[in-house]
Amino acid sequence: MKRLQWPSRLPIDPYVLLLLGTVGLAALLPARGTAADVVSAAATAAIALLFFLYGARLSTREALDGLRHWRLHATVLACTFLVFPLLGLAARALVPVLLTQPLYQGLLFLTLVPSTIQSSIAFTSIARGNVPAAICAGSFSSLVGIVVTPLLAALLLGGGTGGFSADSLLKIVLQLLVPFAAGQLLRNRGAGRARRRAARQAGSAGPGPGQGGDGGAVGGFLTRHRRLLGYVDRGSILLVVYSAFSEGMVRGIWHQVSPARLGGLLAVEAVLLAVMLLLTWYGAKALRFGREDRIAIQFAGSKKSLASGLPMAGVLFGAHASLAVLPLMLFHQMQLMVCAVIARRRARDPLPGPAGAPGTGAARTAVGSGPPAR
């Protein structure tokens, strides 16, 4: 008799299961009273730490070098902050047939958040695309989103659920932008000391090849301990999800979502994802990008970041955050599953040139082998 074995690769990302488990925990044991205050404070601190680590990890030199591929980055930013919001505004016609007004507000907010970094890089690497471009595109999208997402929310959601005010913008700046800037300052300060120390050791005005480092001790530590950022990333999201969904349970918000409305939301998001995947792939082809760049554009331009969106939603929507983040959570899980299938298919496509030749997917993938922590 053949022995049954547990599949080595589950069809669902284990982190998606953790997210679903966190929602279930919030439904069964929601945080109330003092416990809710503690969880909310912990989530805020975790998000601040997360963006501090983002700032400390991002190489300023890498970001400046990535600007050379400005057409690719401009295309990804246009997809993320122009095409996506336009499709979100068009979905207004589905209220109240398929979507309720609160669900539509959450869907519109979903279209405003920046792209992902981790999954864009991972899927681009699997599909043998331009990994360095995916790294820069995702990083630029996150940086721009810290400023652009709140401004777009002020313009498009000003009269919606939760509203938007100068106080909301100030909270986002304090929770996201200030920690990120502090991380960048610490990284650059450490890099400056490392370069000066290397220069003294070499007896010259500047470091020699391979000496010093763009990130100094801080950047080097985070590079050697990539999992640290991954743990903070995933842990902060779980805390924010538990806090938001607990508040929703306590306030009885979930009684407003019927199975029919939930099915309608899933259908709308499936169409939204399909449209963006087609637009990014064939639009990049029309703009004469090569195969590797088209892969990076498709995966970076069709996704939305749960890590960046959740803390912003908590500030923008307040007590209604649990219902507002539901479309983003569902879309995040959907994009992971669909893009995983697409990436594996792209990996089987024949390369345009000899394997490992300059400009081929094999060479690009080697640069980003093994997805970074985010």
CA distance 236 to 326: 17
Find the helix packing angle between 291-301 and 118-126, rounded to 10°: 150
CA distance 227 to 212: 23
Residue 49, amino acid: L
Extract the tokens encoding 244. Answer: 């938001």
CA distance 28 to 254: 13
Domain borders along the chain are 14-347
How far CA 181 is from CA of 32, 47, 52, 154, 186, in Å, comes to 34, 14, 7, 23, 9
Which residue has better confidence, 181 or 175? 181
The whole-number pLDDT of residue 64 equals: 62
CA distance 245 to 254: 9
Dihedral sign computed on CA atoms, order 172, 269, 330, 307: negative
The whole-number pLDDT of residue 366 equals: 36
Whether the predicted pLDDT of 100 surpasses 50: yes
What is the percent of the chain where pLDDT is above 70?
68
The whole-number pLDDT of residue 90 equals: 96
Q: Model confidence at 219, in pLDDT bands (50, 70, 90)?
A: low
Chain center to CA of 131:
16
CA distance 356 to 365: 10
Extract the tokens encoding 331. Answer: 């879309």
Matching CATH number, 14-347, of 3.60.15.30, 3.40.50.970, 1.10.10.10, 1.20.1530.20: 1.20.1530.20
Whether the predicted pLDDT of 78 surpasses 90: yes
The whole-number pLDDT of residue 79 equals: 96
The whole-number pLDDT of residue 52 equals: 81
CA distance 157 to 151: 10
The whole-number pLDDT of residue 14 equals: 73
What is the percent of the chain where pLDDT is above 90?
21
CA distance 248 to 20: 15
Whether the predicted pLDDT of 374 surpasses 90: no
Whether the predicted pLDDT of 130 surpasses 60: yes
- The 10s digit of each residue's pLDDT in 221-241 is 766 766 766 677 677 778 877
The whole-number pLDDT of residue 211 equals: 44
